[in-house]
Amino acid sequence: MSSSVSEDDVSELLAVSASSSQNGSSSNLAADKLKQLASEQLEKTATFWSKLHQFSRIALLGYPNTFEQYVLESEPNDCSLVAKYTEIVDVDLSRQPSLSVDSVTLNTVHVPHPLVSFLRNETNQSAAEDDLDLMRELRESPILVFIHGLGGQMSQFEPLMGLLSQCSEIIALDLPGFGNSKLSFETKTKRKSVSQISPEDQRRISSSVKRMSWEDFKTDNIVNIIFELIQQKIPAGKKIVIVGHSMGTHLSVKLARKLSKQTVEGLILLSPPDFEDDIESQEGAKPATVSMLTFFTYFPAFFNFFRTWDRLEGLESTSVLRQLGNVAGISNSIYNKLRQFRWNMDVNSEVILKYVRGFNKAKYSELIEAISNFNDNPQDKTVYEKTLLLGGTDDRLTAAKIIHKTQNFLTKTFDRKVSEAIEVTNAGHSLLLAKPEFISGIILNHIESKFPERLHLSPAWVLKVKAKISGDKWGLKNEQKWMQLKPISTNITRHNGKDVAVLLGMKTLREGDSHHSPTIVEDLFYGANKDNRAEGIPKGNLIAIVDISADIPPYSPKTLKNIKYYKCATVSKVVPDQIAIRRFIQLVDDILSSNENVENPLIAVHCHYGFNRTGFLICCYLVEKMGWSVQEAVEGFKAAKPPGIKHPHFIDALYVRYES
């Protein structure tokens, strides 16, 4: 990031869901239109014969699938976090004789450690350099490396990367042929993407992937490519923790084994396929997807026909439900189905078959060797559970029993508990799509409690360091401006107070502040004088606070006793995109549904000052869920929290989204 970036932007490095105002508003999918098109597509394929008719028109006669065209043109394949930190990297493969190419150009992401931006301030940098222990601890803090699975892309890790970037440096990649490391960027239908990759970089990426032979896509060669990327991007001696999903878990194990001893500090394996049992000589079953697709490697011409048939029902197609599982509620909302459908559309058939033909499962012996490399670290005085296995109860592709089987094997082999297996209910193969906040929270909690403290993989440690350097544990950007603002809005209303919104706007709280701290806010709504509130204090019962800032909050959520805290991060000065809006609305609905017995529930929303992003998302909820017009929502928020949304492009985005 250039030195011209403002302090406000620098402190918001931890983005998870926003894009430019153009990407975030003008091409948002209208919910009603999406539902209508999805319903029409399902109706067209309601019977076998009607589905066969559609298949014949599209696959044999070449008619376009209008629903798929709409999705490709309207729904991005990637996300704002990826777009913000994208780096196009030429990976030097000249030291890998098993590969037929000397290099490959890939789309990658590199998110700096949160303290890097903090230390750009000369005063902070000077104080840190004088603290030798701190500089040593920073060097010891590992980098998190993310590896996606077959047909996946790194944007699938968005919520987890956003959370963990609060305490660690992040590196991720789109494997050759997947995501924005495409075999070809030229398609009949324009495909929406948040990332702005130049035509020259697109050409470099696609031409390098096209030069790769079928042999280059063998599992061990893909591991070699990731290995060289790490050698190139990560300084020698720097530790890493590898996070993999599905096929990426087997790549992770093989990579951990290949890297020098004690380079890797841990493995986080999401939805792993079964490992090959070469210890007790029991042949493990191939993952369901790979077993099915192996057939098509012998008859590749039929694969595109199969894929067309497989996704004909659109959002209700087998291609979507296979990934999400047969679960109910928000986990399988129309927008989660849309996201999964869009990712499925991004997959190139030829690339899939190349990976399938070359797929070589990781063996138990490789898993043992990989874990031994980091479990026997002489710096650790105790045994840590530095391998985390997660699986969904409704996973149709890699059954949840695999994580328990693997856990039992590891405990038996090491004669002590070196891993933890967590089965997530009401979730399928796409864990982070089904329950992003929950899964991310589980992983962060495990890292904080089960990994060595010396790794400093904790947002609390980052906060402590900032306090140590600056001398202010609960420091705020532009504190004087913050102090002059009204802490919390009045009730947001329309029709002269007849309709009252469930949402409130407020500025961020500050721990220990005499006017606006967690303790003060709780006392307003749950203290002895809760029934005799002063004028201007909103009426109702505050049940939750939703923090939409991307930074670590300047207060401790644990201080809250009656009010629950939720994080739904966005980027400052940038209009939240459609994915961020959906996540926010789903979160609010989920909070309300779990508090149905509370009379007059209220949910407070804050970014830093509580005007632009806060007002925008509140207005989105009022329009989409409560039926207000954009004008009513904007004016209602302005009256409750003057001067309301201050940046004109945020207001423009609301009108473009809902009234164009």
Token pair, residue 471, equals 């001398």
What CATH number does residue 553 fall under? Answer: 3.90.190.10
Instruction: Tell me how far apart the alpha carbons of residues 427 and 141 are, in angstroms, rounded to a whole number.
Output: 32
Do residues 504 and 359 both lie within one domain?
A: no
To which H or E segment does residue 639 belong?
helix 630-640
- Residue 422, domain member (yes or no): no
Confidence of residue 188 (pLDDT cuts 50, 70, 90): confident
What CATH number does residue 83 fall under? Answer: 3.40.50.1820
Residue carrying the six token digits 């706007």 = 505
Which pLDDT score is estimated for 627?
93
Instruction: Tell me how far apart the alpha carbons of residues 559 and 512 are, in angstroms, rounded to a whole number.
Output: 10
Instruction: Tell me how far apart the alpha carbons of residues 398 and 291 are, in angstroms, rounded to a whole number.
Output: 12
> Could you tell me which residues are beta bridge partners of residue 506?
488
| Residues 548 and 605: beta-carbon distance below 8 Å | yes
Do residues 521 and 655 both lie within one domain?
A: yes
Which pLDDT score is estimated for 395?
92
Among candidates 517, 506, 515, which has minimal Cα distance to 611?
A: 506
Which pLDDT score is estimated for 28?
41
Instruction: Out of 344, 370, 396, pick the residue that ends a domain.
Output: 370
Question: What are the Cα distances from residue 29, in Å, to 19, 24, 370, 391, 466?
Answer: 15, 10, 45, 31, 40
> Could you tell me which residues are beta bridge partners of residue 387?
267, 419
Domain region containing 655: 479-659
| Residues 499 and 627: beta-carbon distance below 8 Å | no
Which pLDDT score is estimated for 366?
95
Token pair, residue 616, equals 């925008």
- Residue 538, domain member (yes or no): yes
pLDDT single digits (tens) 351-386:
999 999 999 999 999 999 999 988 766 666 666 788
Instruction: Tell me how far apart the alpha carbons of residues 513 and 532 are, in angstroms, rounded to a whole number.
Output: 22
- Residue 580, domain member (yes or no): yes
Token pair, residue 379, equals 């710096």
pLDDT single digits (tens) 307-347:
999 999 999 999 999 999 876 655 567 888 999 999 999 99
Token pair, residue 657, equals 């989204």
Instruction: Tell me how far apart the alpha carbons of residues 467 and 584 are, in angstroms, rounded to a whole number.
Output: 30
Question: What are the Cα distances from residue 600, in Å, to 279, 538, 543, 595, 597?
Answer: 60, 11, 10, 10, 9
Confidence of residue 19 (pLDDT cuts 50, 70, 90): very low
pLDDT single digits (tens) 417-454:
889 999 988 889 999 988 887 788 788 878 887 888 88
Do residues 149 and 279 both lie within one domain?
A: yes
Residue carrying the six token digits 């039992």 = 408
pLDDT single digits (tens) 204-245:
999 999 999 999 999 999 999 999 999 999 998 899 999 999
Which pLDDT score is estimated for 378?
65
Mean pLDDT of 3-21: 33
Instruction: Out of 333, 348, 370, pick the residue that ends a domain.
Output: 370
Do residues 361 and 510 both lie within one domain?
A: no
Identify the three-state secondary structure at position 571.
Answer: coil
DSSP-derived secondary structure for 59-109: IIS----HHHHHHHHHS-SS-HHHHHHEEEEEEE-TT-TTSS-SEEEEEEE
Confidence of residue 16 (pLDDT cuts 50, 70, 90): very low
- Residue 256, domain member (yes or no): yes
Residue carrying the six token digits 């990826």 = 82
| Residues 233 and 89: beta-carbon distance below 8 Å | yes
Instruction: Tell me how far apart the alpha carbons of residues 235 and 359 are, in angstroms, rounded to a whole number.
Output: 30
Number of domains into which the chain is organized: 2
- Residue 572, domain member (yes or no): yes
Instruction: Tell me how far apart the alpha carbons of residues 571 and 451 are, in angstroms, rounded to a whole number.
Output: 29
Do residues 351 and 486 both lie within one domain?
A: no
pLDDT single digits (tens) 595-619:
889 999 999 999 988 999 999 999 9
Question: What are the Cα distances from residue 392, in Å, to 325, 426, 439?
Answer: 9, 7, 10
Instruction: Tell me how far apart the alpha carbons of residues 238 and 252 are, in angstroms, rounded to a whole number.
Output: 17
Beta carbons within 10 angstroms of residue 391's beta carbon: 26
Mean pLDDT of 624-643: 94
Question: What are the Cα distances from residue 168, in Å, to 174, 371, 447, 457?
Answer: 20, 21, 11, 6
Burial letters for 331-350: b for 16+ Cβ neighbours within 10 Å, e otherwise? bbbebbbbbbbbbbbbbbbe
Which pLDDT score is estimated for 179?
93
Amino acid making up residue 313: E
Which pLDDT score is estimated for 422?
92
- Residue 43, domain member (yes or no): no
**CA torsion, ordered 315, 391, 280, 411, to nearest 10 deg:** 180
Question: What are the Cα distances from residue 178, in Å, to 248, 252, 270?
Answer: 13, 17, 19
pTM for this prediction: 0.76
Residue carrying the six token digits 């030097």 = 92
In sequence order, the 6+-apart residues with CB closer than 8 A to the CB of 21 are 574, 575, 649, 650, 652, 653
Token pair, residue 242, equals 């590898």
- Residue 529, domain member (yes or no): yes
- Residue 420, domain member (yes or no): no
Mean pLDDT of 486-499: 92
| Residues 86 and 197: beta-carbon distance below 8 Å | yes
Confidence of residue 290 (pLDDT cuts 50, 70, 90): low
Identify the three-state secondary structure at position 600.
Answer: coil
Do residues 364 and 493 both lie within one domain?
A: no
> Could you tell me which residues are beta bridge partners of residue 605?
505, 546
Which pLDDT score is estimated for 54?
92
Token pair, residue 347, equals 């997959």
Token pair, residue 589, equals 């609905």
Higher pLDDT, 462 or 71: 71
| Residues 184 and 212: beta-carbon distance below 8 Å | no
In sequence order, the 6+-apart residues with CB closer than 8 A to the CB of 32 are none
Percent of the chain with pLDDT over 70: 87
Q: Where are the alpha helices (DSSP H) in 429-541?
A: 431-434, 436-450, 459-470, 479-483, 518-526
Per-residue HEC secondary structure of 195-255 comes to: CCCCHHHHHHHHHHHHCCCCHHHCHHHHHHHHHHHHHHHCCCCCCEEEEEECHHHHHHHHH
> Could you tell me which residues are beta bridge partners of residue 538?
none
Residue carrying the six token digits 């599982």 = 325
Token pair, residue 75, equals 């729904």
Percent of the chain with pLDDT over 90: 50
Instruction: Out of 353, 370, 387, pick the residue that ends a domain.
Output: 370
Instruction: Tell me how far apart the alpha carbons of residues 280 and 413 are, in angstroms, rounded to a whole number.
Output: 11
